[in-house]
Amino acid sequence: MTRSAIPFRKGHGTGNDFVLLPDPDGRLSVTPAAVAALCDRRRGLGADGVLVVTPTAAHPEVAEQAQRAAWFMDYRNADGSVAEMCGNGARVFVAHLLDEGLVEPGSFHIGTRGGARAVHVERRGGSVQVDMGPAALLADPVTVHPADGPAAGVARDALGVLMPNPHAVTWVADLTEAGHLLESPAVAPAHAYPNGANVEFVEVLGPDHLRMRVFERGVGETLSCGTGACAAAVATIRRSGGGPDGQRMRVDVPGGTVEVTWRADGHVELSGPAVLVARGTIDPDWWELHA
C-alpha cells in the first residue's frame, strides 16, 4: 500500500528541470518505470530527471556519507537509470532543502552517488555553489560522431572527462554543427564508456567564455547540464595547455549561464541559479499503476 498522496516539487537549474520526491522516512519505493512515467512530458509531470530527497543514513548505498551529509540526492535520469551526479539537480536539491527548512544558508554537504559534495549558498533564492569533486581525464583518445547535421558521421576529436559522470567533449566553430541532437552521437572507443556518455559540443567565445549544447545519456538534448558544463570547461582549459589553477569560466547553455572554476586542488566548482516552480501531490492510483 502507498500513501494516500505522494508529494512532489518541481524545479529547474538553467532550464534543466526535475521532479523532486520528498522521502523523509526513506520508505518510498521509486522504480525506473515510475521515474520514466513522471518525466513523460505529455503523460506525466515532465522533467529531465527525478530527485528523491531522502536521509543519507536510510540509504545503504551511501550510508557511509551520513556523518557529513544528512540528505542524499538520489538522482535518476528521465529513462529511469541512475547517475553518479547532477550539477543542476544538486542546486535544485539544495534550494528545496532550504525552502523546507531542512538546512540553513551557509556551507554544508549533500550525499550523492559520486560522494558527499560540499555546497555553499548565502541565502534562499540565491546562487548555489557546488563542489563537484575532482575531474578525471581519460587517457584514451576519443572521437564523437554526430548523428545528423553538416558533420553527420564524421569523426571529431574529443576529450573524455569523468565528473564523475562520463563525458565526451568536442569543439565546433558553430553549435549548429552538432545537428538536431535528436539521436545520441556515437562515441568511440566504446570500452572507454561502458555505460554510455554525455556528449558536449563546445564553441569557444573567449579565453574564459564558452557556449555549449549537450546530449545527455538517458535523456536526450537538455537546456543545460551541470556536469557537462564542468567537463566542457576542464576539457577546454586542458586543450589550451592549461590545468587546475583557479581559472573561472562562463558557460552559456540554451537555458542560461553557469560559472565553472577548476581549482588548484583539482576539484571543480559549479555556480548558478536554482528555481523552485511548483508543489503538489501525485494521484495515488496513477502512482500504483506506474510503480
Are 252 and 260 a contacting pair, CB within 8 Å?
no
- Nine cell digits for residue 128: 548555489
Q: Residue 96 and residue 105: Cα distance in Å, rounded?
A: 12
Q: What is the DSSP string of 113-180?
A: TT--EEEEESSTTS-EEEEEEE-EE-SS-EEEE-SSSTTTT--EEEEEEESSSEEEEEE-SSGGGGTT
Q: In 172-274, where do the E strands start and end?
A: 186-188, 198-206, 209-216, 220-222, 247-253, 256-262, 267-272
Catalytic residue among 225, 231, 251, 260: 225
The DSSP code for 111 is B
Are 123 and 99 a contacting pair, CB within 8 Å?
no
**Residue entry with cell 548558478:** 272
Catalytic residue among 86, 90, 161, 274: 86
**What are the φ and ψ backbone dihedral angles of 101, each rounded to 5 degrees?**
75, 20
Are 127 and 275 a contacting pair, CB within 8 Å?
no
230 is catalytic: no
The H or E element containing residue 197 is none
39 is catalytic: no
**What are the φ and ψ backbone dihedral angles of 36, each rounded to 5 degrees?**
-60, -40
Q: Which residues are catalytic?
A: 86, 225
